[in-house]
Amino acid sequence: MMEQTFEVQPCGVKYICDTCGEGELLPNGKNDWSAEQKPFEHECTECGQKKMFSEKYPLVRYKNVDE
Ligand SMILES: [Zn+2]
Protein backbone atom coordinates (compact mmCIF):
# COMPACT_ATOMS: atom_id res chain seq x y z
CA MET A 1 0.00 0.00 0.00
CA MET A 2 1.16 3.50 -0.74
CA GLU A 3 -0.35 6.91 -0.77
CA GLN A 4 -1.19 8.41 -4.08
CA THR A 5 -2.30 11.93 -4.89
CA PHE A 6 -4.86 12.96 -7.45
CA GLU A 7 -6.10 16.31 -8.62
CA VAL A 8 -9.39 17.63 -7.30
CA GLN A 9 -11.40 20.75 -7.86
CA PRO A 10 -13.21 22.36 -4.92
CA CYS A 11 -16.84 23.13 -5.51
CA GLY A 12 -18.98 25.31 -3.23
CA VAL A 13 -22.50 24.00 -2.68
CA LYS A 14 -25.37 26.11 -1.37
CA TYR A 15 -28.97 25.08 -0.83
CA ILE A 16 -31.68 27.15 -2.46
CA CYS A 17 -35.04 27.12 -0.69
CA ASP A 18 -37.56 24.59 -2.05
CA THR A 19 -40.46 26.77 -0.97
CA CYS A 20 -39.73 30.22 -2.42
CA GLY A 21 -36.96 29.25 -4.83
CA GLU A 22 -35.11 32.45 -4.03
CA GLY A 23 -33.67 32.38 -0.54
CA GLU A 24 -30.73 30.37 0.64
CA LEU A 25 -31.02 27.93 3.52
CA LEU A 26 -28.45 28.77 6.19
CA PRO A 27 -27.78 27.26 9.62
CA ASN A 28 -29.67 29.16 12.33
CA GLY A 29 -27.69 27.64 15.18
CA LYS A 30 -30.57 25.54 16.49
CA ASN A 31 -29.10 22.09 16.33
CA ASP A 32 -31.11 19.09 17.44
CA TRP A 33 -28.64 16.48 18.64
CA SER A 34 -31.44 14.01 19.35
CA ALA A 35 -32.06 13.86 15.60
CA GLU A 36 -29.11 11.67 14.76
CA GLN A 37 -29.43 11.85 11.01
CA LYS A 38 -30.19 15.52 10.49
CA PRO A 39 -29.24 17.65 13.49
CA PHE A 40 -28.65 20.98 11.75
CA GLU A 41 -31.61 23.31 11.43
CA HIS A 42 -31.44 25.74 8.52
CA GLU A 43 -33.61 28.72 7.78
CA CYS A 44 -34.41 30.43 4.51
CA THR A 45 -33.04 33.96 4.16
CA GLU A 46 -36.19 35.04 2.30
CA CYS A 47 -39.27 33.22 3.56
CA GLY A 48 -38.04 31.75 6.84
CA GLN A 49 -38.81 28.16 5.83
CA LYS A 50 -36.99 25.68 8.07
CA LYS A 51 -35.35 22.42 7.08
CA MET A 52 -33.09 19.92 8.80
CA PHE A 53 -29.88 18.72 7.19
CA SER A 54 -27.15 16.26 8.03
CA GLU A 55 -24.47 18.81 7.21
CA LYS A 56 -24.19 22.58 7.23
CA TYR A 57 -24.66 24.55 4.06
CA PRO A 58 -22.94 26.17 2.32
CA LEU A 59 -20.39 23.40 2.07
CA VAL A 60 -17.45 22.48 -0.08
CA ARG A 61 -17.23 19.29 -2.07
CA TYR A 62 -14.36 18.08 -4.16
CA LYS A 63 -14.71 16.56 -7.54
CA ASN A 64 -12.02 14.59 -9.27
CA VAL A 65 -10.36 16.26 -12.20
CA ASP A 66 -10.03 13.78 -14.99
CA GLU A 67 -6.62 13.65 -16.63
ZN1 LIG B 1 -37.61 30.44 1.07
* Rounded distance between C-alpha atoms, residue 7 and residue 45, angstroms: 35
At 11-64, the pLDDT tens digits run 999 999 999 999 999 999 998 989 888 999 999 999 999 999 999 999 999 999
Asked whether residue 27 is assigned to any structural domain, the reply reads yes
Find out whether 24 and 15 touch, Cβ atoms under 8 Å: yes
Asked whether residue 31 is assigned to any structural domain, the reply reads yes
Asked whether residue 4 is assigned to any structural domain, the reply reads no
Cα(18) to centroid of ligand 1, in Å? 7
Total of domains in the chain: 1
Asked whether residue 58 is assigned to any structural domain, the reply reads yes
pLDDT at 3 over 70: yes
Q: Which domain holds residue 45?
A: 18-62
Asked whether residue 13 is assigned to any structural domain, the reply reads no
Asked whether residue 2 is assigned to any structural domain, the reply reads no
Asked whether residue 30 is assigned to any structural domain, the reply reads yes
Question: Burial of 31 by CB count in 10 Å (0-12 exposed, 13-18 middle, 19+ buried)?
Answer: middle
Cα(41) to centroid of ligand 1, in Å? 14
Asked whether residue 9 is assigned to any structural domain, the reply reads no
Cα(66) to centroid of ligand 1, in Å? 36
Cα(33) to centroid of ligand 1, in Å? 24
